[in-house]
Structure 1
Amino acid sequence: MLNSANLVDHRHQPARYGRIAVAALHHSDAQSTPSPRHQHASGQLVVPLHGSMRCYVDDGIWMVPSQSAMWIPPDLPHSNHASPHSHFAFVFIDATALDLPDRPCTLAISPMLREMILHLAQQPQTQAPDQHDAALIQVLLHQLSQQPRTPLNFALPADPALHRVAEALIADPADRRTLSHWAQACAMSERTFTRRLRQHTGLSFARWRGQLHLIHALERLGDGDSVQSISAQLGYDSVSAFITMFKKALGKPPNQYRNSRSLESGSNKPPR
């Protein structure tokens, strides 16, 4: 999914400005394209404010919808792809100041944290923070470490045969070919395919493919597509089967999830 070359981005290093965190606001246009593969010396929090973001790392794809954020640890090569006309914040954090894992993860972001990040991004970032902002940053970092994590990633197995299956499913999320078919295509028994996939991803085939469907569904929900349309795009035999998968993963049926996100984010308006 990503080529081997990557850039080291030396911008936005908090220590350069006597800070433990710096923030910046960005937006994408109608022709949004993935960023070049790169890495940062500091940790990075990717926070969509309107729209969504996909983050690509070597062993997975992460979906970051509005009211969520993705933590990218220091020195991890990655590429970001924002949805068209989206608005988002990047928060670069001295990793020693924040208790988050050394692997990527997706966090839920409360409206309070969203407003704190917006405020921080609108302050001068190239100088040490004043007393008020320094206190705000400490509260922000403490709150981030307490936020629940959400399972919004699709693992890309290192095994070459399984990786080819992943790429085929990404190219056509509606592909409903069975475990038996994919095992045969990989010249494996179903048992070997299942065991190897679980070794690489920790998931059964149905759960693994379901994670890809969840990423696709969240993007389409954010674009305003109907549940019926999304179910058809993903090749489900019935809308109820799609709703069951979605609710099992995120605790709410799709429309309820979309409505709750819209209310939390003030109808998903772009930042002021």
Structure 2
Amino acid sequence: MSKDFPSGHQVGKHSHCEGQLIFAATGVMELSTSTGLWLVPPQRGIWMPPNVEHSMRARGLVSLRTLYIQSAHYLEQLPRTPKAVAISPLMREIIIRLMRTRSILHSNQREERLLDLLLSEIEWSTEAALPLPPLNDHRLQRICSTILNNPGDRRNLNEWAELVGASSRTLARLFQQELGVSYLYWRQQVCAISALPRLSAGEPITLIASDMGYDTPSAFSSMFRRIMNRAPSQYFS
């Protein structure tokens, strides 16, 4: 499927009986499941297994390219949970070439070879989804949604505790219990992931660091390297 979405367009929760390799030739997608969220620039894609409920929001104009995988032969080679994919220039061109047809039949050996090559070229990214809080905890929901909308929010747990009506100790326990990480680490993940679309667009690290609430670019770069295992300036090289 090839489809364009205007900035801000949202596709509500849905699932498919097929698996999906989801890729945007241009623009940034926000993809979320019940437990995690990805911000996906053009250099990345997402493998979404069959029957996994997910939603999408376009950040900027998005030119979406999706391959639906039905064949058990291919599905058994692919993960059973959503996973980030590094999209190489070769993979990008194969995906765009496969967009010329609605379906790939076993009788079409040329296109089947292209699909085989595409799957053999997949490099699974080490990036994990940003864990999201359960819907039934309004305190975590309020904190997390506020930070997702404004990654530069630097409030600490004591300040959040006064706002949401819980002790800082309770909030610290909930982050570890429900999200598997500390509050500080979760907030740093948001900053690092939110920076990806802007780094992809070539924005200066100085500006990104300031918007994320960091006093210096070096402090932001140090955090980014800890989370993403690579410096911001090297991430898309």
Shorter-chain TM-score: which interval? 0.7 to 0.9
Q: Which structure 2 residues correspond to residues 104-253 of structure 1 after superposition, within 5 A?
A: 104-122=82-100, 124-126=101-103, 128-129=105-106, 130-144=108-122, 147-151=123-127, 153-158=129-134, 159-253=137-231
CA distance in 2, matches of 1:200, 1:63: 21
CA shift, 1:248, in A, is: 2.0
**1:77-107 CA distances to partner (integer Å, 9 max, x unpaired)?**
2221233233331111127323333332212
Root-mean-square deviation over aligned CA pairs = 2.3
TM-score by length of 2: 0.86
* Cα distance change, pair 43–193 in 1 and its aligned pair in 2 (3 A): same
CA shift, 1:137, in A, is: 1.7
**1:52-81 CA distances to partner (integer Å, 9 max, x unpaired)?**
211122223211112211112222222212
TM-score by length of 1: 0.76
The alignment covers a number of residue pairs equal to 232
Pairing 1:256–2:234 present: yes
CA shift, 1:189, in A, is: 4.1
Contact persistence 1:61–1:156 (CA under 8 A): yes
Match of 2:78 in 1: 100
**1:9-48 CA distances to partner (integer Å, 9 max, x unpaired)?**
xxxxxxxxxxxxxxx333334x441123322111111112
Pairing 1:84–2:76 present: no
Letter in 2 for 1:201: L
SS in 2 for 1:119: helix
Bigger shift: residues 168-177 or 187-196: 187-196
Aligned-pair identity (%): 33
Letter in 1 for 2:4: H
Question: Equivalent of 2:25, from 49, 52, 60?
Answer: 49
CA distance in 1, matches of 2:112, 2:209: 47
CA distance in 2, matches of 1:95, 1:191: 49
Contact persistence 1:51–1:87 (CA under 8 A): yes
SS in 2 for 1:83: strand
SS in 2 for 1:237: coil
Match of 2:50 in 1: 74
* Cα distance change, pair 95–219 in 1 and its aligned pair in 2 (3 A): farther
Contact persistence 1:41–1:74 (CA under 8 A): yes
Contact persistence 2:19–2:70 (CA under 8 A): yes
Bigger shift: residues 57-66 or 94-103: 94-103
CA shift, 1:225, in A, is: 2.3
SS in 1 for 2:102: coil
Match of 1:10 in 2: none
Segments of 5+ residues of structure 1 without an aligned counterpart are: 1-23, 261-272
**1:112-141 CA distances to partner (integer Å, 9 max, x unpaired)?**
22222222122x224625112112223323
Segments of 5+ residues of structure 2 without an aligned counterpart are: none
Higher-RCO chain (CA-CA 8 Å, sequence separation at least 6): 1
Contact persistence 2:23–2:46 (CA under 8 A): yes
CA distance in 2, matches of 1:36, 1:88: 16
Bigger shift: residues 103-112 or 178-187: 178-187
**1:168-225 CA distances to partner (integer Å, 9 max, x unpaired)?**
2122221101123234544444443223212222212122111211222112223332
